[in-house]
Amino acid sequence: MLDSRFHLRKIINGKLRFSIKHSVSRFFISLLIAFSISIIPEYSSLSYEASLMLFILSFSALLWMTEAIPAFAVSFLLISLEILLLGFHDFDFDSNSKEWIYFLKPWSNPLIFLFMAGFILAIAASKTKLDLWLAKRVIFYFGNSPHNILTGLMLTTFVLSMFVSNTATTAMMMTLLIPMLKNMNEHNPFQKGILLGVVIAANIGGMGTIIGTPPNAIAVGILGDNAPSFLEWMAIALPPAILIVVFFRWLILKVYKSTEDVININKVKKIPHYDDSTTTFTKIPTIPSWKKALVILVFTITVLLWLSGPLHHIPTPVVSLFPIVVFTIFGIIDNEDIKEIRWDVIILIIGGLSLGAGVSKTGLDEWIGTQFNLEGLNIFIIVTIFAFIVILVSNFMSNTAATNIMLPLIVALVSGLGDSIVSYMVISIALCASCAMVLPVSTPPNAIAFASGKLNSKDFMLIGLVAAFVGPIFILSLLNIYM
């Protein structure tokens, strides 16, 4: 027994050393390539500060792509490099220069509070089981025929993903799907269909609001004063998102036809609330009804205030403080819940905002823009190319990191073509990032559904390739009309 434990420990330690060694090598290779791209060549009309920013941009992009260090750590690193290399002239740290503070401003960006409010609302809904309650109600409202069940599942997932992370939404929906799948014929193709339907709705639903997915938030931060409001974003993003989901509903019903005319969903009613922190699934205490009512009330007020901003003129970030304060006062959110906020995602968003700020401050955006003559070129073709690039990259890395890399470059390329063109391209690329789902590991919803054992890689390949081509068509075409 001791020998086997020693052997196992030896294997684990060996793999750990290999992993660390591999990460270190990727880190220094990325550093060397970034240095070779930005510092060694002598670019005409590129200032010294802009060349340093090009180094930071290249180094950050390579680290995000190679995953040499965690994605959030790249954000910390790039901000530190901006402060170190650009915050003090000639590295004179003894001066009274305050320029370094500029690179910390993204930490206080109002957008961060908006995204934090989204996490708080999601945690409150999960703690009070309102998300599960809503899902169960919707499913029974639609009925038990296959096409109605698929409609109910996709609609519920889509709406929840607009305000709750697609990871949490998919995990919650799996609670409903598991007993439903057990009551279906084992060889019924529709089992795969409803799983894929939930995955698609979770990935695409986040397009609908600014807080739905991090790429949306990064786009809004990059656009700054020209960014759409909460309501304007929904008016722009919801139509293509709805069309994509409706198209996939049709496709799933064609490809994964049910061999059963009626699906037994009665067991969904009996789904108990369990404490997931234990393997024994101990039942948790009944949640007071007043807490559920308060969450519904606060959620409704917050969303309505976000949507009616043009009427009352209360800044969206200020509205975002409302649920945070109310939930903490009434004990719905406590210290442990605050720890559950996806701080890594927030830090990643901050890194993207800081990267964009540095590119603009050093004039790197203007220099990049002068390297490509886009006059006379069709803007639709340009944005289409970038859309496919961001989808391709997002299939192999976080779509948040991919958006962090792409959007500053896009702004730099088209900044001279007018604010409307910049907004059209930035929003389009951010939305297209949500269409990356070709691999089981491309998005968390994909991975969660794949873990069910009912799907294989070719199923994701099908929906991923369709999304990669159909998604941009709907997004770019509709945005071209609206914007």
At 193-212, the pLDDT tens digits run 999 999 999 999 999 999 99
pLDDT for 77 = 93
SS3 assignment, position 283: strand
> Cα dist. 287→131, 164, 291, 336 in Å?
14, 20, 7, 17
Residue 338 resides in a domain: yes
Long-range Cβ contact pairs of 67-72 (< 8 A, separation 24 or more): 67/26, 67/397, 68/23, 68/24, 68/26, 68/27, 68/30, 69/23, 69/27, 70/344, 71/344, 71/348, 71/398, 71/400, 71/401, 72/343, 72/344, 72/345, 72/347, 72/348, 72/351
185 and 306 share a domain?
Answer: yes
Strand partners, 283: 274
Let me know: does 358 contact 154? Beta carbons within 8 Å.
no
pLDDT for 253 = 92
Residue 459 resides in a domain: no
* Helix axes of 48-66 and 399-414: crossing angle, nearest 10 degrees: 150
pLDDT for 280 = 38
Mean pLDDT computed over 40-50: 86
What are 375's two structure tokens?
Answer: 């006059």
* Final residue of a structural domain among 313, 343, 373: 343
Residue 425 resides in a domain: no
SS3 assignment, position 274: strand
Rounded distance, CA 317 to CA 175, Å?
33
Residue type, 74: V
User: In this model, does residue 482 exceed pLDDT 80?
Assistant: no
* Final residue of a structural domain among 285, 316, 343: 343
138 and 65 share a domain?
Answer: no
230 and 81 share a domain?
Answer: no
213 and 158 share a domain?
Answer: yes
Residue 76's domain comprises 21-89+99-108
SS3 assignment, position 476: helix
CA atoms 150, 152, 157, 158: torsion sign? positive
User: In this model, does residue 17 exceed pLDDT 70?
Assistant: no
Band (pLDDT 50/70/90 cuts) for residue 5 is very low
Q: Which of 193-197, 233-237, 415-419 is predicted least confidently?
A: 415-419
Tens of pLDDT along 131-189? 777 777 777 788 778 888 899 999 999 999 998 888 888 888 888 888 778 778 888 88
Mean pLDDT computed over 387-391: 91
For 67-189, where are the alpha helices, taking DSSP H only?
A: 71-86, 110-127, 130-142, 146-163, 166-182
Let me know: does 124 contact 365? Beta carbons within 8 Å.
no
Which of the listed ranges 8-22, 277-291, 372-386, 432-446 does the model predict with the highest average pLDDT?
A: 432-446
104 and 247 share a domain?
Answer: no
> Cα dist. 430→44, 92, 206, 388 in Å?
32, 39, 11, 12
Band (pLDDT 50/70/90 cuts) for residue 268 is low
Q: What is the largest CA-CA distance in the chain?
A: 77
Residue type, 15: K
Rounded distance, CA 382 to CA 411, Å?
13
The beta strands (E) that lie in 230-303 are given as none
> Cα dist. 139→160, 180, 188, 258, 274 in Å?
14, 11, 20, 17, 20
Let me know: does 309 contact 234? Beta carbons within 8 Å.
no
203 and 135 share a domain?
Answer: yes
Radius of gyration of the chain measured on its C-alpha atoms: 24
* All residues at 6 or more sequence positions from 479 whose CB lies less than 8 Å from its CB, including other chains: 236, 240, 424, 427, 428, 431
Mean pLDDT of all residues belonging to the chain: 84
Residue 381 resides in a domain: no
Residue 126 resides in a domain: yes
- Count of domains forming the chain: 2
Which helix (H) or strand (E) element contains residue 421? helix 419-432
Rounded distance, CA 86 to CA 425, Å?
29
What are 34's two structure tokens?
Answer: 């970034």
Let me know: does 407 contact 430? Beta carbons within 8 Å.
yes
User: In this model, does residue 92 exceed pLDDT 80?
Assistant: no
Please count the other Cβ atoms lying within 10 Å of the Cβ belonging to residue 465.
12
Band (pLDDT 50/70/90 cuts) for residue 302 is very high
Let me know: does 195 contact 177? Beta carbons within 8 Å.
yes
What are 443's two structure tokens?
Answer: 């998005």
User: In this model, does residue 11 exceed pLDDT 70?
Assistant: no
* Final residue of a structural domain among 328, 343, 358: 343
Band (pLDDT 50/70/90 cuts) for residue 380 is confident
User: In this model, does residue 282 exceed pLDDT 80?
Assistant: no
Q: In terms of pLDDT, which residue wins out, 89 or 409?
A: 409
Q: What percent of the chain shows pLDDT beyond 90?
A: 30
167 and 312 share a domain?
Answer: yes
225 and 248 share a domain?
Answer: yes
Q: In terms of pLDDT, which residue wins out, 135 or 78?
A: 78
pLDDT for 2 = 41
Residue 198 resides in a domain: yes
128 and 263 share a domain?
Answer: yes
Tens of pLDDT along 316-342? 889 999 999 999 999 898 888 888 888
Strand partners, 274: 283
56 and 79 share a domain?
Answer: yes
Rounded distance, CA 394 to CA 406, Å?
11
Residue 149 resides in a domain: yes
Rounded distance, CA 386 to CA 269, Å?
46
Residue 377 resides in a domain: no
For the entire predicted model, the pTM comes to 0.83
- What are the φ and ψ backbone dihedral angles of 331, each rounded to 5 degrees? 75, 10
What are 447's two structure tokens?
Answer: 């991975």
123 and 142 share a domain?
Answer: yes
204 and 150 share a domain?
Answer: yes
